[in-house]
Amino acid sequence: MEEHFHQHISRQFNQELEDLRKDVMTMGGLAEQMIADAISALSDGESARAEQVIENDHRVNEMEKHIDQQCIQILARRQPTASDLRLVMAIIKTVNDLERVGDEAEQIAKMAIRLVSRDRPRGNYRELESMAGHVRIMIRDALNGFARLEPEVAIALKRQDVKVDAEYEAILRQYYSYLVEEPRNTSRVLDSIWVARSLERIGDHAKNIGEYIVYMVEGKDIRRASVEEIEESLNEGE
């Protein structure tokens, strides 16, 4: 009887953890879609789509609160240890970063609303669209790595983040040159710089999630580690 009871508790606990992981994936999917919609609103001048992104940020915030509450309850009731404890802690950290991704998408949407009434040639934000595409891939890769428990994704995300940072620096140089040439467009260019900054931060959050996956699976802290150090650390267990 006692063994059956413990098996029941164990199955119930595993289901709670699986439900948490599914909630994280749902939240992450919404955050990724917000990035796409925010950039689309900027490029196409669709203020209604931008408003939807702002509305969805409230949903992301509520998701974070719900998942945090579930994690706290699990910590209090189940008192998990080892890998289960790392999973719960990684989830708490991951949803915090996803919430911030939503915040950055919301900021881009607000910039889109500011810019929508200004005269600008279509396709004038190609460099931002390209950068947004790259950070969306990073978020998607991070979520896939989370779902599949693949710590190796942290290496790819670290490399991608370096490329996104370089892209951001190139956009800054381009926009600063444009400011010198066309000072009448200062306000629009500065808003565009803020969009690029938000995209760069989204890349940082995706990279962070990769680090949490390594902690969750391997129990290793790779924050501030280089790509080579991460590779060496992951190869130690092989």
Write the pLDDT tens digit of every residue in 28-86.
999 999 999 999 999 998 999 999 999 999 999 999 999 999 999 999 999 999 999 99
Identity (one letter) of the amino acid at 194?
W
Mean model confidence pLDDT for the chain: 91
Confidence of residue 2 (pLDDT cuts 50, 70, 90): very low
Nearest to 220 by CA among 98, 95, 91, 83: 83
Fold of 2-235: Methane Monooxygenase Hydroxylase; Chain G, domain 1 (1.20.58)
For residues 170, 126, 185, 199, the Cα torsion angle rounded to the nearest 10 degrees is -60
Q: Which amino acid is at 55?
A: E
Q: Helix, strand or coil for residue 105? A: helix
| Dmax (CA) of the chain | 80
Q: Contact 161/200 with Cβ under 8 angstroms? A: no
pLDDT score for 5: 40
Placement of tokens 């706290």 in the chain: 72
Pairwise CA distance, residues 20 & 93, whole Å = 13
List CB contacts of 82: < 8 A, sequence separation 6 or more: none
Separation between Cα atoms, residue 194 and residue 53, nearest integer Å: 17
Pick the residue with more confidence: 118 or 223?
A: 223
pTM of whole model > 0.85? yes
Q: Is the pLDDT of residue 8 over 60?
A: no
Is residue 7 predicted with pLDDT exceeding 70? Answer: no
Q: Rounded to whole angstroms, how far apart are CA atoms 139 and 17?
A: 22
Q: 148-174: per-residue pLDDT in tens?
A: 999 999 999 999 999 999 999 999 999
Q: Where are the domains of the chain?
A: 2-235
Q: What is the pLDDT of residue 139?
A: 98
